[in-house]
Amino acid sequence: MSWLLVGVVCVVVVGFARPVAAQDTPKVEVAGGWNYVGLRFDEGDEWEHFYRGGFGEVAVNLNSRWGVVGNIGYDQKTITETEGDIKAKVIPYLFGVRLSSRSNPKNTPFVHFLAGATKFDVSLGSDSINQTSFSWQVGGGININTSGPVGARIGGDYLRINGKDGDEVTSEAVQGLRLTAGVVVKFGG
């Protein structure tokens, strides 16, 4: 949790940094990389950690501050139980808006709100359960810019997956923490 606090402090400090030089706004940003998700299915439950995952994202910048974003993630985990190995996959696909600060050419902090759905695939042997639930995510990150079109990205988000009565995977809301690290490629601008 202390890394999350460090990340938030970095985003705030960088967001208020004075500009060193003008920065062009790219028309499109494509990002991808590693993705971690921690999920808690019930208030009393322990966190389930999904370390093996990835994400892909496309952002279209409407102006220097506002953009629209499409994001998809993929996280999987194998849980060993007495009945056998349970394979769990979590696949959120979300869309929304992003607010960026481009006052410093070395980095671009951003915050976003995304909504969409998350698909759960859970299987044990030949038995499987699939469920898709409404989801929303709020968070942000920072793009570390280079002189070229390729940069680095780190980010963190709160993810909420709504459950409903009668669902087989989860009948209550699932809370999650999502951490990402990867590359971002900028086009246009």
C-alpha count within 13 angstroms, C-beta hemisphere, residue 109:
15
Helix or strand or coil: residue 6? helix
Strand-pairing partners, residue 183, are 32, 152
pLDDT at residue number 171: 65
For residue 98, the model assigns a pLDDT of 98
pLDDT exceeds cutoff 80 at 112: yes
More confident residue, 189 or 136: 136
* Dihedral sign for Cα atoms in the order 27, 32, 38, 39: positive
**Containing domain of residue 106, as a range?**
2-19+28-187
101: pLDDT strictly greater than 90: yes
pLDDT per residue over 7-43, tens digit each? 554 444 444 444 433 458 999 999 999 999 999 877 7
Q: Model pTM?
A: 0.81
pLDDT in tens, 137-181: 999 999 999 989 999 999 999 999 988 766 666 667 889 999 999
Determine the pLDDT at residue 181: 98
pLDDT computed for residue 46 by the predictor: 86
d(CA 48, CA 77) in angstroms, rounded, equals 9
| Number of separate domains in the chain | 1
CATH code at 61?
A: 2.40.160.20
